[in-house]
Amino acid sequence: MVIWLCGLSGSGKTTIGNSLFQVLKPLIPHLVIVDGDAIRDLFGNDLGFDVKSRITQIGRIQKIVKFLDKQELVVIVTALFSNDEISRYNRENFPSYFEVYLKTPLEILEKRDTKGLYNGARLGHIKDVVGVDIPWSEPINSDLVVNTEVSNVDEIVWQIIEKNPYLSKIKLNLSS
């Protein structure tokens, strides 16, 4: 099972992924998390953030996830992507794939902007920011779309568990 959390920078992918991991790990010992920023770090931050580098980065993540999935691990992925080909590849290559789109309006992300990413891009100090100077292609076939503007982390975690066919069975055990 692969649970792929996607959305623009600042939408809560890592926070929600980590929270989902904490809730599920006691029940699913073979659960792992693959975070886009952690993978960049593992490879020595050798890529930029331009479109070509982002595609290479997602390709790395997909290969790692495929390796883990073949070992029958349950994988939570937290990674920004903005390409229908990526989603199509994931659905074709991960037999139990569940995509969660953390939909947050860009205006909200710019207000939250704790890293100064969006402000820096608007001022011209930072380039290659998805949603600003790299177009964002909203996922169109996500299994779950969550508006992070109106839901808190715990609510989103439980929505993921309830809507995911595999995890909803585990939820029964959580309720007991």
C-alpha–C-alpha distance, residues 93 and 86, integer Å? 10
Active site (annotated) includes residue 96: no
Catalytic residue among 82, 137, 151, 168: 82
Q: Check the CA dihedral 83-85-89-92 and report its sign.
A: positive
In this structure, the dihedral spanned by the alpha carbons of residues 135, 140, 144 and 146, taken in order and rounded to 10 degrees, is: 40
Distances (CA, A) of 67 to 2, 29, 92, 128: 12, 17, 15, 29
Would you please indicate which residues are annotated as catalytic (active-site) residues? 82
